[in-house]
Amino acid sequence: MTALALNRKTLRALLPLASLALVLAATFYAQPRTMSYFGLNLMLQYAVPIALATIAQMFIITVNDLDLSIGPFVGLVGCIGATYLHDTPVLGILALLLCIGAYAAMAALIHLRNLPSIVVTLGASFIWLGIAVMILPSPGGKAPDWLKAIMSLQVPLIPFPIIAALLIALLVHIGLMTSSYGVIMRGTGGNPRAMARAGWSELKTKMVMYGLAGFFGVLSGLSLIGLTTSADAHIADRYTLYAIAGVILGGGEFVGGRVSPFGAVIGALTLALAGSFLIFMRISPDWQIGAQGAILIIVLALRALISAGEARR
Amino acid sequence: MKKTSLLVAGALAAITFAMPASADTKDKKIALSNNYAGNSWRQSMLKSWDKVTKQAVADGIVAAADPFTTSENQVTEQAAQIQNLILQGYNAIVLNAASPDALNGVVKQACDAGIIVVSFDGIVTEPCAWRIAVDFKKMGAVQLDYLSEKMKDGGNLLEIRGLAGVFVDDEIHKGIEEGVGKHTQFKIVGSVHGDWAQEVAQKAVAGILPSLPEVKGVVTQGGDGYGAAQAFKAAGRPTPLIIMGNRQDELAWWKEQKDANGYETMSVSIAPGVSTLAFWVAQMILDGKEVPKDLVVPFLQINQADLEKSLETTEKGGVANVEYSKADAEKVVAGK
């Protein structure tokens, strides 16, 4: 009985990995050329900023909220990175810190006024976009050279995007899943009242989580312009949905502080690869979004199946 | 290596002068990366590509010429698409870009992988890519040149602009301002944004008309001439000389007026078939020909005499179009 339960739990944990392996195998089959250092590097490069945005979203989902502004926020960071950070680094760093502060302030607003996070972040998304357009009215700017250098790093044997993705997942895993403060943060998502009774301020944990989300949003924006070499206010509009889908695909849930950093990163990689696979298969763009949605639904259905088995016992 | 291929190309061209096919590019693959397909202009562009490249593939000029369109006008999506095209082993990528700057990173990667990148319409600024740009400024200026010929005494003009904040709108507007500076007998008495859409233009013109003195001419950006005409009619004012923008409804209205009262004007816009010009340019570069990095595409002007012919060949709801042949492309490259 216990062995079987354990089996289901591992099965659940392995599901994101299995879907990644499946999509990867399908991509290799569709386009054998991708099965090389060069191919993987190229194909997974754009997965790094998506993975970082997904981690940012994961922090918010951990405390039972949802962030609808991460895409435009990443775009704003990109615009700051390609203008201030390039021309006047000190001012640029200050502006980015201010962005992270704004995220923490958003948490305070949501908590103190007891507002739904969806509404506040949706509103914030327009503010980010507005500021981004003000900073960079038309596409352009230049990414700092050190950013470009980091993102085009050539590591022997294993392509850089894979190393970066693993490193991100590992760091967040240590911080959120194994440290004692991480337990508190996840607990706030699981049962905020119990955590408050135990003497942990929900306001403070929420602000820390949103601040962390802001921090990873900044990393995502910077890594993105390191790849594109210049910015555009609309550069990351799609990331909002990618990030939510990545967390869910990676085994996270909307309630109860049930998240997984490794899962989230794997989810982001799966989504990025699925896009490539669909292009290799020459599926018409009108169907591509639908096909990505179908992948999401299939994974969720499998998970529901496993969970249903768990609940029966 | 390059020299030999040039020599071979030259020899072949000499031998098979009548046949446009050149053996050099027959196993090369060209991809079209397009960022948007949501309006009539883009649909015509894709149709033209399909028509011309299918023939080119059938003739054995290139091995493949596949179009790829991203579902939403998104930089990141198009960047990923181009990376996949690199991996698929295309020899050249013809590109209508979502952003002039933000795709530079991936365009450089393509160049480094030895791929020819030719951008058109939505061009990219990365130096390693070729650019087929439209001289939008001149598109504005020719309107004033035409008007000054038609109306020696000059008069008041109404300007209809495009979508605010877009590069194209700024450029055409600058051209019109330059034209007014050159032909000082004209004066712009009003300016509205028509967003390149007839309904929007009609509403905007109807709104500003009561406050205007007599208007002699209307300068436009395309997709707004028919709407302007309707607004003048509804207000009961005499129809001024309205410059048209090659849309089918505009040409049809022009024809109707011409038959009724000998109305005269001209029409100017970019032909969506510019995608086929980009295709031939890519093919020529693959063939080893010397092509300057910056090319200017001629715009398509319809004069009184060509009206019937253009109207006949333009689909309902479409845009007047020309598809380029290899010979046309060679002329553009030679700067003629």
Q: Give me the mean pLDDT over the A280-297 stretch.
A: 77
Domain ranges across chain A: 14-307
Q: Model confidence at B51, in pLDDT bands (50, 70, 90)? A: very high
Q: What is the pLDDT of residue A61?
A: 93
Q: What is the mean pLDDT of chain A?
A: 88
Closest CA to B279 of B42, B111, B45: B45
Q: Model confidence at B56, in pLDDT bands (50, 70, 90)? A: very high
Helix H or strand E segment including B120: strand B116-120
Count CB-CB contacts under 10 A for residue A239: 30
Q: Model confidence at B143, in pLDDT bands (50, 70, 90)? A: very high
What percent of chain A has a predicted confidence (pLDDT) above 90?
Answer: 50
Q: Model confidence at A313, in pLDDT bands (50, 70, 90)? A: low
Q: Give me the mean pLDDT over the A200-213 stretch.
A: 93
Residues A267, A54 contacting (CB under 8 angstroms)? yes
CA dihedral A244, A246, A248, A254 (to 10 degrees): -30
Q: A43 and B109: CB-CB below 8 Å?
A: no
Q: Model confidence at B7, in pLDDT bands (50, 70, 90)? A: very low
Position A159, amino acid:
P
Higher pLDDT, A285 or B286: B286
Position A169, amino acid:
A
Domain ranges across chain B: 2-121+271-291, 136-269
Q: What is the pLDDT of residue B6?
A: 45
pLDDT at residue B194 tops 70: yes
A39 contacts in chain B (CB < 8 Å): 87
Could you give phi then psi for residue B294, rounded to 5 degrees?
-115, 120
Alpha-carbon span B256 to B259, nearest angstrom: 5
| Residue-wise DSSP of B15-44 | HTSS----GGGTT-EEEEEES---SHHHHH
Q: Give me the mean pLDDT over the A242-267 stretch.
A: 87
Residues B251, B226 contacting (CB under 8 angstroms)? no
Q: Model confidence at A312, in pLDDT bands (50, 70, 90)? A: low
Q: Give me the mean pLDDT over the A284-302 stretch.
A: 78
Task: Tell whether A30 is within 8 A of chain B (Cβ).
Answer: no
Tens-digit pLDDT profile for residues B88-141: 889 999 999 887 888 888 999 999 999 999 999 888 989 999 999 888 899 999
Assign domain B2-121+271-291 one CATH number from 3.50.30.50, 3.40.50.300, 3.40.50.2300, 1.25.60.10.
3.40.50.2300
pLDDT at residue A231 tops 60: yes
Q: A140 and B100: CB-CB below 8 Å?
A: yes
Residues A77, A217 contacting (CB under 8 angstroms)? yes
Q: What is the pLDDT of residue B21?
A: 46
Task: Tell whether B101 is within 8 A of chain A (Cβ).
Answer: yes
Q: What is the pLDDT of residue A289?
A: 72
Higher pLDDT, A13 or B52: B52
Domain A14-307 has CATH 1.25.40: no
Q: What is the pLDDT of residue B23?
A: 52
Alpha-carbon span A189 to B196, nearest angstrom: 50
Instruction: Using only the alpha carbons of chain B, give its radius of gyration.
Output: 22
Tell which B residues from 281 to 300 touch A, by Cβ distance under 8 Å.
none
Q: A238 and B106: CB-CB below 8 Å?
A: no
B104 contacts in chain A (CB < 8 Å): 228-230
- Residue-wise burial string across A24-59, b where 16 or more C-beta atoms lie within 10 A, e elsewhere: bebbbebbebbeeeebbbbbbbbbbbbbbbbbbbbb
Q: Model confidence at A274, in pLDDT bands (50, 70, 90)? A: confident
Residues A301, A249 contacting (CB under 8 angstroms)? no
Tens-digit pLDDT profile for residues A3-37: 555 677 787 778 889 989 999 999 999 888 888 88
pLDDT at residue B215 tops 60: yes
Assign domain B136-269 one CATH number from 1.10.443.10, 3.40.50.2300, 3.60.40.10, 3.40.50.800.
3.40.50.2300
Q: B89 and A276: CB-CB below 8 Å?
A: no
Alpha-carbon span B275 to B32, nearest angstrom: 9
Q: What is the pLDDT of residue B211?
A: 93
Could you give phi then psi for residue B9, rounded to 5 degrees?
-60, -45
Q: What is the pLDDT of residue B261?
A: 92
B137/chain A closest Cα distance in angstroms: 18
pLDDT at residue A302 tops 90: no
Q: What is the mean pLDDT of chain B?
A: 87
Q: A45 and B83: CB-CB below 8 Å?
A: yes
Task: Tell whether A235 is within 8 A of chain B (Cβ).
Answer: yes
B87 contacts in chain A (CB < 8 Å): 31, 33-34, 39, 42-43, 276
Q: Give me the mean pLDDT over the A269-273 stretch.
A: 89
DSSP state of B303: -
Residues A307, A287 contacting (CB under 8 angstroms)? no
Which of A187-196, B33-42, B204-213, B321-330 comes out lowest in average pLDDT? B33-42
Q: B101 and A227: CB-CB below 8 Å?
A: no
Tens-digit pLDDT profile for residues A126-174: 999 999 989 987 777 889 999 989 988 888 888 999 999 999 999 999 9
pLDDT at residue B334 tops 90: no
Range among A127-141, A172-186, B225-239 rated most confident: B225-239
Q: What is the pLDDT of residue B101?
A: 81
